[in-house]
Amino acid sequence: MKVHDKLYINGEWVASTGSDHEDVIDSATEEVIGRAPLGTAADVDKAVAAARAAFDSWAATPVDVRAKYLRDIGTGLAIRFEEIADTISAEVGSPKSFAQMVQAGLALGEWENFAALIETYEWEETVGSSLVISEPIGVVGAITPWNYPLYLIICKVAPALAAGCTIVLKPSEITPLNAYILAEVIHEAGLPAGVFNLVPGNGPVVGAAISAHPDVDMVSFTGSGRSGAEVMKAGAATVKRVGLELGGKSANVILDDADPAAVAMGALFAAFLNSGQTCSALSRILIPESRKDEFLDAILGEAALMKLVDPKADEPDIFHALGPMSSKAHQDRVNAYIQKGIDEGATLALGGPGQPEGFEKGFYVNPTVFVDVTPDMAIAQEEIFGPVLSILTYTDEENALEIANGTIYGLHGAVQSGSDERAIAFARRMRTGSVDVNSGGFNPVAPFGGYKQSGNTRERGRWGLEEFLETKSLQLPG
């Protein structure tokens, strides 16, 4: 069992001012595998003071030096790759192959991406008689979730450090162990004291203290819409910048000229990615009424191949292997949504509520598919965050667009067609921050973020860096 009893503040491992801790539970075995302290508001004060004291020096550090630190951190994480993958697999429940390829693999690549970016970024620009300068915003509070715990931490920490900001990080109390690995690597890389600080804890205490703190210049938050609204409210009193990356109920629109067999596997993988615990999961599939039976046969045939697995097993098929939910509370929440879908009158085509057969332990949920779903149902409107797919039908393209855009969210989406031109034209009309067109591949340097209640920020690439920058203009003498 990995027991942590310290916080990382001002370059040192220090005791919390409080005495509470949180046990970390293995999602598959329900056994305690670790422990981390629950920080306090006083701990946040200490961490913010350290970050504030370190800011001027770090902001003035030359770009090439900051880039070297980023690369050194990336190298340090790469050395501990297997440990990171195994840790996240146990914390979250991600199957081992998925944890290696996505949870750990994506997290490692961001350090080089941002190191290379800041070496070529135009930090100053002459506009007429003015010199326009990009500068770090200051002390950043980063509050991160449990579903892709290290990757989503790094999507904030790497660009903030690259920009010249100092950081106070609060990881999810459900999955703190991977954050400790990052802190240990940062310490070994010799990052100056106070530039990075780790205060684990829960949202109502540590998250609230970070959000309201007058010496925090920006809060970058990823999580639920409800929690994001609380962060924004807490930050409003000091008019700090608040970047929110929130939930989604993303639609995969399959146009009537698409090939059912060609789109089925990708549609299921995109819906059940990380057991559906993905904010950008394509959890609604829209199919044309005119070809309903063809598409249903293909989609349900693919869905039947989904299987629950032991996350520790060497399961090479990442397209069909699903692990457990991250916690008992979340398992109960997802099962409640499945029951709600039944109660609302949707047709249960696969799966259903309850502990899956053959899995007496573990927070598993049956892969579940509903058909005959109408746009007004809760399972078509609300983010479930589990392996639950809703299939809806539409009459024509305008009706498909209305359904796709007809939620409070606008994070992600997809469109499939026999014509790239037709698919792109439809994608342009979707009110969402990103759209996969005919199974277009994942791009780690493209911007990611949402419209509407999916948030107000963009992460990754140049756009992710610029979230942590202020713009200053100097009006020069003629």
Residue-wise pLDDT tens digits, 433-445? 999 999 998 999 9
Question: What is the mean pLDDT of the segment spanning 387-415?
Answer: 98
**From the candidates 110, 245, 302, 383, which is the catalytic residue?**
245
335 shares a domain with 196: no
* Per-residue pLDDT tens digits for 36-45: 999 999 999 9
Please check whether residues 104 and 210 belong to one and the same domain: yes
**Per-residue pLDDT for 314 more than 90?**
no
Catalytic residue chosen out of the listed positions 279, 302, 459, 467: 279
Sequence length of the chain is: 478
pLDDT value of residue 51: 99
The predicted structure's pLDDT at residue 287: 98
Q: Which two tokens stand for residue 239?
A: 């008019």
Reduce the DSSP state of residue 236 to 3 states and report it: helix
Instruction: Give the mean model confidence (pLDDT) for residues 14-39.
Output: 97
Write down the residue that tokens 């498909």 correspond to.
400
Please check whether residues 301 and 233 belong to one and the same domain.
Answer: no
CATH number of the domain that residue 423 is part of: 3.40.309.10
Based on the domain organization, do 279 and 351 belong to the same domain? yes
Residues in CB range of 229: below 8 A, 6 or more apart: none
Average pLDDT, the chain: 97
CA distance 248 to 450: 8
Tokens of 347: 């047709």
Same domain? 199 vs 267: no
Determine if the pTM surpasses 0.95: yes
Amino acid in position 263 = V
Sign of CA dihedral 380, 382, 383, 386: negative
330-383: pLDDT as tens digits: 999 999 999 999 999 999 999 999 999 999 999 999 999 999 999 999 999 999
- The pLDDT of residue 5: 96
Same domain? 318 vs 447: yes
Confidence of residue 317 (pLDDT cuts 50, 70, 90): confident
The pLDDT score that the predictor gives to residue 315 is: 81
Number of H helices, E strands in the chain: 16, 24
Q: Indicate the burial class of 127 (C-beta count within 10 angstroms; 0-12, 13-18, 19 or more).
A: exposed
Whether the pLDDT of residue 453 is over 90: the answer is yes
Q: Does residue 123 register a pLDDT over 90? A: yes
Is pLDDT above 90 for 195?
Answer: yes
470 and 434 housed in the same domain? no
Task: Please say if 245 is a catalytic residue.
Answer: yes
Strand partners, 132: 125, 473
Task: Give the chain's largest Cα–Cα span.
Answer: 78
Confidence of residue 68 (pLDDT cuts 50, 70, 90): very high
Asked whether the beta carbons of 36 and 225 are under 8 A apart, the reply is no
pLDDT, residue 316, reads 80
Percent of the chain with pLDDT over 90: 98
Q: Are strands 130-136 and 21-25 parallel, antiparallel or unpaired?
A: unpaired
155 as an active site residue: the answer is no
Q: What percent of the chain has pLDDT over 70?
A: 100
Q: How far apart are CA 138 and CA 294, in angstroms?
A: 55
What's the rounded Cα separation, in Å, for the pair 273 and 240? 34
Mark whether 146 and 38 lie in a shared domain. yes
Residue 375 amino acid letter: P
On whether both 218 and 281 belong to a single domain, the answer is no
Judged against a pLDDT cut of 90, whether residue 318 lies above it is answered with: no
Identify the CATH number of the domain in which residue 223 sits.
3.40.605.10
Label residue 478 by pLDDT band (50, 70, 90).
confident
Rounded distance between C-alpha atoms, residue 192 and residue 438, angstroms: 46
Looking at the structure, do residues 225 and 337 belong to the same domain, yes or no? no
Instruction: Provide the b/e sequence for 150-167 (b: ≥16 CB within 10 Å).
Output: bbbbbbbbbbbbbbbbbb
* Residues ≥6 apart with Cβ < 8 Å to 314: 96, 97
**What residues make up the domain containing 256?**
251-452
Q: In terms of domains, do 229 and 274 share one? A: no
The total number of structural domains that make up the chain? 2
In the predicted model, is pLDDT for residue 429 greater than 90?
Answer: yes
Q: Which residues pair with 350 in a beta bridge?
A: 369
- Whether residue 136 sits in one domain with residue 123: yes
What are the tokens at 452? 């509407």
Is residue 129 classed exposed, middle or buried when 0-12, 13-18 and 19+ CB atoms within 10 A define those classes? exposed
